[in-house]
Amino acid sequence: MAPSTERREIERLLKIADVTIDGTRDWDIQVHDEAFFARVLRAGSRGFGQAYVDGWWDCAQLDELFRRLLAARLDSAIHSVRMLLAGLHARLFNLQKPSRAFTIGSHHYDLGNDLYRVMLDRRMIYSSGYWANATSLDAAQEAKLDLVCRKLQLGPGMRVLDIGCGWGGAAKFAAERYGAEVVGITVSRQQVELAEQICRGLPVEIRYQDYRQLNEPFDRIFSLGMIEHVGYKNYRRFMRVVRRCLRDDGRFLLHTIGGNRSCRRGDPWVEKYIFPNSMLPSAKQISTAAEGIFLLDDWHCFGADYDRTLLQWHRNFEAGWDELRDRYDERFHRMWRYYLLQAAGSFRARKNHVWQIVLSPPQAPADYRARV
């Protein structure tokens, strides 16, 4: 039987990325259901991911597949009507308004502390490690935390704010290693519960709180992988909140994934199944949000380190699946694998980046040097 029109169109697009349907290379796609082709043309990247979770296709090396697809810019080659409407919705409405602030916590971070214990390092740090001199995930995450503290020039007795504190690993590190007094905020109840246990006995306070509710003084502020949930309509407000809480001689470190171009919404599949109401800021969006509020002290890029971090998270997840399978089904297994390896491929293709940005009020001392 002759190939369908839909199959021929998908084959034509994949050829641009040197990907073959039912080919023999690790990055080639093995299709199990012919309805796959029409689904992708109809629903774009969301349909592509949904079809994988449903078992309609497989690939031996998803991360390399995505590197090729993204390097060839095939993510923008197919636009469904549904995707265009979602983009319009994001323009018209503030998807990250205060009433939605806790959605990401319940949807993603409250999936279960058991999942994140299996996947992450011993400190449970859920952002890129720093692999310059590290050979293990634990070492890479400790190196990242130390890098943050050194860039902020932390010292004993400083009052520090951690916006998006996760399970408290960074707050605990700053308190133990640098003598800081830390307030950590998160929109996840399960993170609060575990972070309070992890930081017990230390000068660390963990709160279930949206960043917009903050209005108190701190000597230093950092945020590791949280601004991705803030949304482009709120970047300027985020910077203003940080400024009103930061003393005139303070410093703010922003650690974030960044995108090459300014956008108003995230990847449709990731937004629906992994990080609802989330998107990646561009350099322009961050700079514009900070202009007139902060001065730029340092901008450090190490996106390749997130590729390596994600691959280690994936190895940990697969190695620990037997511990998780009683609570999470096989569809979740495929969804989570897809999420981690799609993300790894995005950094390898240089579609996404990791930035650590140090900002300060105009009144702060002018002799700053980043301690890398």
CATH of the domain at 152: 3.40.50.150
| Any domain includes 190 | yes
Confidence at 106, pLDDT banded by 50, 70, 90: low
| Any domain includes 371 | no
What's the CA gap between 287 and 269, in Å, rounded? 28
Q: Are residues 56 and 150 in the same domain?
A: no
Q: Are residues 137 and 241 in the same domain?
A: yes
Does residue 163 contact residue 221 with C-beta atoms inside 8 Å? Answer: yes
Determine the structural domain holding residue 49 and report its residue range: 5-79
The percent of residues in the chain predicted with pLDDT above 70, rounded, is 91
What's the CA gap between 23 and 30, in Å, rounded? 7
- In sign, the C-alpha dihedral spanning 165, 169, 175, 177 is negative
Q: Is the pLDDT of residue 87 over 70?
A: no
Q: Are residues 64 and 111 in the same domain?
A: no
- Say what the pTM is: 0.91
Distance in angstroms between the alpha carbons of the first and the last residue of the chain = 61
Q: Are residues 46 and 114 in the same domain?
A: no
145 compared with 89, residue with greater pLDDT: 145
235-276 confidence digits (pLDDT tens): 999 999 999 999 999 999 999 999 999 988 788 899 888 888
Q: Are residues 201 and 242 in the same domain?
A: yes
159-212 confidence digits (pLDDT tens): 999 999 999 999 999 999 999 999 999 999 999 999 999 999 999 999 999 999
219: left (phi over 0), alpha (psi -120 to 50) or beta: alpha
Q: Are residues 17 and 144 in the same domain?
A: no
124-165 confidence digits (pLDDT tens): 999 999 999 999 999 999 999 999 999 999 999 999 999 999
Q: Please tell me the total number of residues recorded for the chain in this structure.
A: 372
